[in-house]
């Protein structure tokens, strides 16, 4: 067998798996999004009715907007929190303690996603310690409504994704030679200019990679908005579950899923372009 034949032979299991469990389901979902629902029956065909409904129905439009807003907020806040944490672990924690520090940083990954969300729901409740503390020191007169809000959803997400971004940024910082900072200092750059013009651009791949993973996982998440956000603001995954569970409107749910995939694809193209530009 030739080298090309052996290569295709090794790649065949992965290609078959990808085709069977990704390409075919995606094509079926795409075809479903073009079907229509008449009564309780799905009528197959080529129709843009479901996509038109996304813009004509305010609650569907609102769900897409809320999902994008929450995801961008979580990504930005997580980056701002993760970079200093990764920097401290990489440059301020002694090397013999860095593994322990990383282990402590990823502890949230060891906890069940559902348990972690319910724990935040308890922490943010009106009768829990945050409100008690703020009331006790006189900062607020009445307990704040923190649970079942967008703030609670963002807090739950940030708690998880800050740790993910810390790992990707830490890996980049550890690969960065200290000679870059020394060279910048020799050329007269102060600490801020060294960071802004040398360190930050060289660590952008870790930031962009972590931000993309955060975007993908956050925008498609159902559990955290459902538990922490309640039903005050529905995200796209929540609306999809409503369409499937209450109305059995599979075509509209498929159209919403396609929109989610388009948003993820746009995020991928933006991050890939950024990384290519960074290497130029």
Q: pLDDT by residue (tens digit) across 219-264?
A: 999 989 999 887 788 999 999 998 888 888 899 999 999 999 999 9
Q: Specify the range with the lowest mean pLDDT, choosing from 4-8, 218-222, 272-276.
A: 4-8
The pLDDT, as a whole number, for residue 83 is 93
Cα(200)–Cα(196) distance, rounded to whole angstroms? Answer: 6
Is residue 141's pLDDT more than 80?
A: no
**Which CATH superfamily groups domain 58-279?**
MetI-like (1.10.3720.10)
pLDDT greater than 60 at residue 181: yes
pLDDT at 73: 96
| Structure-block tokens of residue 106 | 């990823």
Coil, strand or helix: which one is 90? helix
Q: Give the whole-angstrom CA distance, residue 253 versus residue 247.
A: 10
d(Cα 115, Cα 122) in Å, to the nearest integer?
Answer: 11
Phi–psi pair at 132, nearest 5 degrees:
-60, -40
Spatial contact of 68 and 75, defined as CB atoms under 8 Å apart: no
> Is the pLDDT assigned to residue 278 strictly greater than 80?
no
Helix (H) or strand (E) holding 181: helix 179-186
Q: How much is the pLDDT for 218?
A: 93
For the chain, the distance separating the N- and C-terminal CA atoms, rounded to the nearest angstrom, is 40
**Where are the chain's structural domains?**
58-279
* Strand-pair partners of 43: 36
**Residue-level pLDDT at 64:** 93
Give the residue carrying structure tokens 């975007």: 215
Whole-prediction pTM value?
0.87
- Residue whose token pair is 């579950």: 241
Q: What is the spatial distance between Cα 230 and Cα 224, in angstroms, rounded to a whole number?
A: 9
Distance, in Å, from the CA atom of 100 to the CA atom of 146, rounded to the nearest integer, reads 33
DSSP 217: H
Give the residue from 203, 165, 166 showing the smallest Cα distance to 181: 203
5-22 burial, b for 16+ CB within 10 Å, e for fewer? Answer: eeeeeeeeeeeeeeeeee
Q: What is the DSSP letter of 248?
A: -
* Beta partners for residue 41, in sequence order: 38
**64 vs 234: CA distance, rounded Å:** 9
How would residue 280 be classed by pLDDT, with cut points 50, 70 and 90?
A: very low
pLDDT in tens, 69-111: 999 999 999 999 999 999 998 888 888 888 888 888 777 777 7
């Amino acid at each position: 067998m030739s080298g090309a034949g052996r290569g295709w032979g090794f790649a065949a299991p992965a290609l078959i798996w990808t085709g069977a469990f990704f390409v075919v389901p995606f094509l079926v979902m795409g075809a479903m999004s073009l079907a229509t629902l008449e009564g309780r029956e799905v009528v197959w065909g080529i129709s843009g009715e479901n996509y038109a409904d996304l813009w004509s129905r305010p609650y569907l439009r609102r769900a897409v907007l809320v999902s994008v807003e929450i995801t961008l907020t979580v990504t930005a806040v997580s980056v701002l929190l993760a970079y200093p944490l990764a920097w401290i672990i990489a440059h301020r924690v002694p090397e013999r303690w860095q593994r322990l520090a990383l282990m402590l940083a990823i502890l949230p990954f060891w906890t069940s996603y559902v348990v972690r969300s319910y724990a935040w729901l308890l922490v943010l409740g009106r009768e829990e310690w945050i409100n008690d503390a703020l009331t006790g020191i006189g900062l607020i007169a009445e307990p704040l409504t923190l649970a079942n809000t967008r703030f609670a959803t963002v807090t739950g997400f940030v708690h998880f994704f800050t740790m993910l971004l810390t790992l990707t940024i830490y890996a980049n910082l550890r690969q960065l030679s200290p000679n870059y900072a020394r060279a910048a200092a020799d050329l007269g750059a102060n600490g801020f200019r060294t960071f802004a013009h040398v360190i930050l651009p060289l660590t952008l791949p870790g930031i962009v990679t972590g931000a993309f993973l955060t975007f993908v996982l956050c925008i498609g998440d159902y559990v955290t908005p459902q538990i922490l956000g309640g039903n005050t603001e529905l995200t796209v995954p929540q609306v999809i579950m409503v369409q499937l569970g209450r109305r059995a409107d599979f075509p509209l749910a498929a159209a919403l899923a396609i929109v989610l995939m388009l948003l993820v694809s746009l995020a991928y193209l933006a991050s890939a372009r950024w990384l290519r530009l960074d290497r130029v």
